[in-house]
Amino acid sequence: MAEAQEINISNQAREFLDSNHQLLINGEWVASKSGDKIAVIDPATEEQISEVDAGNAEDINDAVAAARSALTGEWSKIPSHDRAQILNKLADEIEMNFDVLSELEVLDNGMPMPLAQYSIASHGTALLRYYASWATKIHGSTIPVSPGGAMNGESITYTRREPIGVVGAIIPWNSPLIFAILKLTPALAAGCTVILKPAELTPMTALFLGELIRNSGIPKGVVNIVTGYGETAGAALTEHHDVDKIAFTGSTEVGKKIVEASIGNLKKVTLELGGKSPVVVFPDADLEKVIPGAARACFFLQGQNCMAGTRLFVHKDIYEPVLAGVKEMAEAFTIGHGLIPTNDFGPLISATQKKRVMEYIQIGKDEGADLLSGGESVGDKGYFVQPTIFSNVKGDMRIAREEIFGPVLCAESFDDSDLETIANKANNTSYGLSGSVWTQDISVAHKMAMLIDSGQVSINCHAAVDPAIPFGGNKQSGWGREFGKEGLEPYLKTKATTVIF
């Protein structure tokens, strides 16, 4: 742990944290009906840095009504070219406020500053500009049909792509601003209206974004932001009969609740849920790339990352050097507050998450895995846990099967040469989100990539993310895809129209 250092917060961030935070409904900041508040905590200090309103079902009702009238009102008449301009304007606004947004993200989430800056620049504004360019390219087609039945005579059939409607977006705390943007942008490009429910643990950057949205020319009611708890505001949104679609990122457990809550009006649902992704290293892999790659795959965002490569499978011939290298990297991280530039490993998000991770570390010890590195919490303030490596993990252990969502790497060696046998081990979880294959042999690389049952596989890197790369889960990692053109589809519906001459 780095020595305690003074944390300096800029005046702009301080003023924002100290200001009164309300709900964005129909273009205005309004107080929650209940008057209840949620304390916002810096996970690196455990100190309260701000408070926000706790919206509940009544506030959700107002937000849904605003989104519904905006959908059929001004927003539906704005040409696609202007929707694109608006999204680009919002990206400009984010760029102009880049420093304060990065700072707020670090204070709220705990991530190291370089990571906040990287994610906002390379995913946030990039996503806005990417989907801005899709706004003008959404169109249907004309379809040749055979005459007969109702189509007695010459006819033309064409399709239109229409916005799916009012979207409820529920997002987690591990990358708060990026998730807000990832949900808003394809929805707005498609012409939908949105009620965004940020995670109760990390509401700050979404609220700042709300003010930028007001400045960017997006009509009132098109984006509404209701901070609040999952069990109240989140649940009300998922049950609401005037919401057409829910876009969710979070736990598999809540994902299943959302499916149940959506049955009432059969709203459409996309889910991006947990993961337990494999990193598979063949004996010919380039160790200079594998070692930092495997360390980052697991310990990025302190392992609080759905794509995290938490199961490391290494061929027995290079198991020892790979593990020694990953251990050296894990022990070289500087743990501490994300606003101190030399720190590269932050806290977990909350006391609950820290407790959960420490319990899993105990489970790993009890199950008989070898603790190679870490395993302890760090310091007496802040939710810090050491990067932790278990070796000789067996596939049936709970630490190998359940999502821990913390800095815990589970390593095991293999000596099989049959790729299907290796893939069976890699696929031995209920998840299927990400994964990576490390080898110089292109046949092994592509064959293995085909055999891994997940929505995304990277070769000689882990978790390749770009606005254009479709991303999402197989099995219990979710429904549907985000990013890329595929990420636009869930926000659109098709209407077929036939005209008889």
The piece of 18-26, 53-61, 233-241, 363-371 that touches ligand NAI (CB under 6 A) is 233-241
Q: Toward ligand NAI, which CB reaches closer, 117 or 227?
A: 227
> Which DSSP category does 27 fall into?
T
> What is the biggest distance separating any 2 CA atoms in the chain, rounded to whole angstroms?
82
For residues 329 and 291, the answer to whether their CB atoms sit within 8 Å is yes
Please tell me the distance from the alpha carbon of residue 142 to that of residue 155, in angstroms, as a whole number. 11
The piece of 12-20, 270-278, 281-289, 321-329 that touches ligand NAI (CB under 6 A) is 270-278
Q: Which of 22, 102, 224, 238 binds ligand NAI (CB under 6 A)?
A: 238
Beta strands (DSSP E) in 213-356 are 223-225, 245-249, 268-272, 278-281, 311-315
| Residues 192-211, interacting with ligand NAI (CB under 6 A) | 197, 199-200
Q: Toward ligand NAI, which CB reaches closer, 170 or 207?
A: 170
Q: Which of 111, 235, 308, 463 binds ligand NAI (CB under 6 A)?
A: 235
Q: Which of 213, 273, 399, 411 binds ligand NAI (CB under 6 A)?
A: 273
Q: Toward ligand NAI, which CB reaches closer, 295 or 348?
A: 348
Q: Which of 172, 203, 293, 432 binds ligand NAI (CB under 6 A)?
A: 172
- 266 — alpha (psi -120 to 50), left (phi > 0) or beta? left
Residue 269 binds ligand NAI, judged by CB under 6 A:
no
Q: Which residues contact 11 (CB under 8 A, 6 or more apart)?
A: none
Please tell me the distance from the alpha carbon of residue 347 to that of residue 28, in angstroms, as a whole number. 34
| Residues 292-311, interacting with ligand NAI (CB under 6 A) | 306
* Residue 306 annotated as catalytic: yes
Least distance to ligand NAI, CB of residue 89, Å: 27
Least distance to ligand NAI, CB of residue 231, Å: 5
Q: Which of 124, 210, 274, 338 binds ligand NAI (CB under 6 A)?
A: 274
Q: Toward ligand NAI, which CB reaches closer, 171 or 298?
A: 171
The piece of 92-100, 251-259, 319-327, 463-471 that touches ligand NAI (CB under 6 A) is 251-259
Q: Which residues contact 476 (CB under 8 A, 6 or more apart)?
A: 252, 273, 274, 430, 431, 432
For residues 187 and 167, the answer to whether their CB atoms sit within 8 Å is yes
Alpha-carbon Rg of the chain, whole angstroms? 24
Residue 251 binds ligand NAI, judged by CB under 6 A:
yes
Side by side, the strands of the sheet bearing 436-438 are: 370-373, 388-391, 408-414, 311-315, 278-281, 436-438, 458-459
Q: Toward ligand NAI, which CB reaches closer, 251 or 428?
A: 251
For residues 374 and 329, the answer to whether their CB atoms sit within 8 Å is no
Least distance to ligand NAI, CB of residue 462, Å: 16
Q: Which of 405, 471, 479, 483 binds ligand NAI (CB under 6 A)?
A: 405
**Among 481, 482, 441, 434, which Cα is nearest to 461's?**
434
Q: Toward ligand NAI, which CB reaches closer, 203 or 374?
A: 203
Per annotation, catalytic residue among 272, 403, 412, 489: 272
The piece of 123-131, 230-238, 414-422, 448-456 that touches ligand NAI (CB under 6 A) is 230-238
The piece of 28-36, 135-143, 268-276, 331-339 that touches ligand NAI (CB under 6 A) is 268-276
Amino acid sitting at position 220: K
Please tell me the distance from the alpha carbon of residue 273 to that of residue 275, in angstroms, as a whole number. 7
For residues 294 and 261, the answer to whether their CB atoms sit within 8 Å is no
Neighbours of 201 (CB within 10 A): 19
Per annotation, catalytic residue among 306, 403, 410, 412: 306
Total residues in contact with ligand NAI, by rule CB under 6 A:
26
> Which DSSP category does 476 fall into?
G
Binding site for ligand NAI (CB under 6 A): 170-172, 174, 197, 199-200, 229-231, 234-235, 238, 249-251, 254, 257-258, 272-274, 306, 356, 403, 405
- Give the catalytic positions in this structure: 272, 306
